[in-house]
Amino acid sequence: MLLKKMLLVALLTVFFPMLGCGASEDPSVERYEGLEVGQTAAFSSGMDVTLKAASLMIPPEPQTKSGPRGEVKSVSSDLAAQLRQEMREGNRLINVRFSLENTNRKGANPSQSLEVGQWEAQDPSGRSLEVAPISGAMELPNPHPDYPYRGWQGELMPEQKRQGAINFVVPEGTELRVRYIPVLQGAGGAKGLAEWDLGNVSKLSQDQV
């Protein structure tokens, strides 16, 4: 009888974790959370992602000039006016700078190019924040030209590295979290994650644009 009880306990120990009381996480999904600025998420695919820095974008004060009748006119770009309006509404424009590197070696696996994933920003409640548009006449002046707005998207070949920047519209005082979502998925279809905590955006350094 004692032997039968021992066998029953052993069987329950083996099979209950398999049946489970809830869904277990896919061990193939990589998650790097609670990272600080400057830290790197090294994915097993060979993609290394580093959030280098973040800062507040501050628009210049509007300039004025006299009209033909002596009236005073405001001289300001559409972009600067838009940024000042966002600030009046309690929002801030945050410039996030990063690097991406395919650490796979040339020749070891020639087909191992890696597609760049996407960037997201969230507040502490998990609400997604708006990405500031970069296009045409609304091209944002870039205070950090080594981190371009364009050119980092697409694929990275083995041993290739790129730097880039992305801007988010963030309510003042937000405790900001910035995420990188890689393209490659785990066996169950779930995507990996790298997440950096930037703290209160009001305390970030400022860049005049």
Summarised one tens digit per residue, pLDDT across range 154-194 is: 999 999 999 999 999 999 999 999 999 998 765 566 789 99
Counted domains in the chain: 1
pLDDT given at position 151: 87
Residue 118 maps to a domain: yes
- 152, part of any domain: yes
The answer to whether the CB of 47 falls within 8 A of the CB of 182 is yes
**Looking at residue 93, which CATH number applies to its domain?**
2.60.40
Structural domain includes residue 162: yes
In this prediction, residue 117 has a pLDDT band, given cuts at 50, 70 and 90, of very high
Is 27 part of a structural domain of the chain? no
pTM of the shown model: 0.75
* Residue 155 is assigned to a structural domain of this protein: yes
- Quick one: pLDDT at residue 139? 58
Residue 19 located in a structural domain: no
Residues 2-13 have a mean pLDDT of 42
d(CA 11, CA 30): 31
pLDDT tops 80 at residue 16: no
- Report the Cα–Cα distance between both ends of the chain, in Å, rounded: 81
Structure tokens at 148: 């371009």
Residue 43: inside a domain = no
Tokens 């424009």 locate to 93
- Model pLDDT, residue 138: 47
Which domain covers residue 141, as residue numbers?
48-60+70-208
